[in-house]
Amino acid sequence: MEAWKLTVWSRYRASIDEVWDQKTDPHALAREFLPCLHLRVDDVEGLRQALREAGCGTFAGRVTGPIGLIGLSWPLEVRETRPTVFYCDASHNRLFTEFVHQHRFEQTPAGLVRYVDEVTFTPAFRPRRLVAEVMRALFVHRHRQAARELRVDGDAVARTWLRRVSAPLRAGGATSV
């Protein structure tokens, strides 16, 4: 199977606590994907706690299209959390045989916060390159939506690169931070 790694980052003029709170709030995360996708999780408070402090948990989720008619199950596993530094979630679903999403929060010497999404995924169907490009577009959209709620540093929003990798990231979560 062909795996891909997508990295997207934005730099915010906000405190690390503000960025952490925004990026670990399930409602704020769902807003970032609108109007392209609607995300719903059954246990919002449980997910918030797993992302912010507990560091683990499995949650039933659902992703639907713009008008909510067509959707699919999106089980979400929070694998690891290091408050204000990092968290990792993963999913196995009908779209991806492997989907591992690392979120990094980096304080810069200038007092800004660089937020990095790093997603390693293996599309379940072809053409895989097209699926990868759709993922890139979706995450660029996500970062631009977040920039409506958090002040960005100039044009440092949704910087992205996408590359094919030899194998998907397996169990555990972080390889290095």
CA angle 20, 148, 15 (to 5 degrees): 30
Measured CA distances, 143 to 5, 95, 146, 177 (Å): 17, 22, 5, 21
**96-121 pLDDT, tens per residue?**
999 999 999 999 999 999 999 999 99
Q: What is the pLDDT of residue 64?
A: 93
**Average per-residue pLDDT in the chain?**
91
The upper half-sphere exposure of residue 165, i.e. CA atoms within 13 Å in the direction of its Cβ, equals: 19
pLDDT score for 67? 75
Question: What superfamily would CATH give domain 3-165?
Answer: START domain (3.30.530.20)
Q: What pLDDT digit, counting tens, does each position of 125-168 carry? A: 999 999 999 999 999 999 999 999 999 998 899 999 999 997 54
**Type of residue found at 149:** E
Spell out the domain ranges in the chain. 3-165
Look at residue 173 in the predicted model and tell me its pLDDT: 45
The model's pLDDT over 48-59, given as tens digits with 9 standing for 90+, comes to 999 998 789 999
Please say if the pLDDT value at position 16 is more than 70: yes
Helices (H), 1-149: 16-23, 26-33, 44-49, 128-146
Angle at 172 between CA 72 and CA 57, to 5 degrees: 55
69, two tokens: 């008619």
Q: Which helix (H) or strand (E) holds 76?
A: strand 76-82
Model's pTM, two decimal places?
A: 0.90
Give the tens place of pLDDT for each residue, 20-47.
999 999 999 999 999 999 999 999 999 9
